[in-house]
Amino acid sequence: MQKRTLGKSGLEVSALGLGCMGMSFGYGPAADKKEMISLVRSAVERGVTFFDTAEVYGPFTNEELVGEALSPFRGQVVIATKFGFDTRVDPTATEGGPVLNSRPEHIREVAEASLKRLRSDVIDLFYQHRVDPDVPIEEVAGVVKDLIQEGKVRHFGLSEAGVQTIRRAHAVQPVTVLQSEYSLWWRRPEEEMLPTLEELGIGLVPYSPLGRGFLTGKIDEKTTFDSTDFRNIVPRFTPEARKANQALVDLLRKIAERKKATPAQIALAWLLAQKPWIVPIPGTTKLHRLDENLGAVAVKLTSDDLREIDSASSNITVQGARYPEKLDQMTGR
């Protein structure tokens, strides 16, 4: 497995990481824990060294799974987790979903609890999951800086933060990584985000690099999701939007046939080709999908391929918002 360094930080990880959220949360019922532990360990055997979780996934159960799965390999892998939501508040009991909480004392509580669940004495990468407008980002960065000095955290990350927030945080404690949605069906980070990250020497970890499964070509307007699947409330996944957005999958399929690859592999290879400091974290619960995703690292897109993808995709307008309104308001702050 090829390695990449995330920005100027010296944090070296496998060129593709593994997003673990969907094993416990978000896309229907949680998968079997033993099977998922086996899957995570299979990823390690295949050279994956970068694993992504968060306390809110479950909540708590995903961190526990990742901690148990990776405990035999702790020194060989990088585990990223996140703070920033108040898991004591039932999201179904509040209007509009989850409650943000990045107060300094809460960040410390989350760090201690996450360390226990992850069976570790240090968090390799600690992200603020979403920017909390009630807590100045300088305070947040200051607490993480203290945790780094105490040896409990190695690197500071932000997720779905806006450019100004990143600059303000970076001035207090260097930000190693921004995690943000980025893929062929969400390209807004190219406008301001990528130039800013390049300037500051910050790596980018795209989540949902396969468009929540859509870019694999396995979903169409007739697909039905489990009642607990997050995609049921995502505007981009209405049957009408899915039908309209097939044009993007058709483009990937065309390139894939030429490259003897799959649409998912082309989507991931396209991301890897954008910048050397980009490390996507596709998630899966299936071993054959893990192998398919990892195969993307070997797919080489030429400058002509990339120009063709850019030209054709610029004529496709993706339909539907990527989040329900309340959740969308938490991004890009």
Residue 206: strand pairing partners: 180
Angle at 203 between CA 201 and CA 206, to 5 degrees: 150
DSSP H helices, the chain, are 33-45, 61-70, 104-117, 137-149, 163-172, 193-200, 239-259, 263-274, 287-294, 303-314, 325-328
In angstroms, the CA 188 to CA 312 distance is: 17
Q: Are strands 175-181 and 153-159 parallel, antiparallel or unpaired?
A: parallel
| CB distance 299 to 261 below 8 Å | yes
Query: For residue range 66-106, what is the model confidence (pLDDT) as tens digits?
Result: 999 999 999 999 999 999 999 888 765 556 568 999 999 99
| DSSP 3-state percent helix, strand, coil across the chain (nearest 5) | 45, 15, 35
| CB distance 141 to 174 below 8 Å | no
Q: Which 8-state DSSP code applies to residue 278?
A: B
pLDDT at 89: 80
CA-based diameter of the chain, in Å? Answer: 54
In angstroms, the CA 232 to CA 227 distance is: 7
Query: Which listed residue (27, 57, 127, 207) is catalytic?
Result: 57
Look up 57 and say whether it is catalytic.
Answer: yes
Token pair, residue 104, equals 């300094």
Per-residue pLDDT of the chain in tens (333 residues, 90 and over written 9): 999 999 899 999 999 999 999 999 999 999 999 999 999 999 999 999 999 999 999 999 999 999 999 999 999 999 999 999 998 887 655 565 689 999 999 999 999 999 999 999 999 999 999 999 999 999 999 999 999 999 999 999 999 999 999 999 999 999 999 999 999 999 999 999 999 999 999 999 999 999 999 999 999 999 999 999 999 999 999 999 999 999 999 999 999 999 999 999 999 999 999 999 999 999 999 999 999 999 999 999 999 999 999 999 999 999 999 988 888 888 888
| CB distance 153 to 111 below 8 Å | yes
Evaluate the CA torsion angle 268, 270, 273, 276 in order and state its sign: negative
pLDDT at 91: 64
pLDDT at 96: 59
Token pair, residue 73, equals 């390999």
pLDDT at 165: 98
Query: What domains appear along the chain, each with residue ranges and CATH number?
Result: 3-328 (3.20.20.100)
In angstroms, the CA 76 to CA 84 distance is: 27
Angle between helices 137-149 and 163-172 (to 10 degrees): 40
Among left, alpha and beta (phi > 0; psi -120 to 50; other), residue 217 is: left
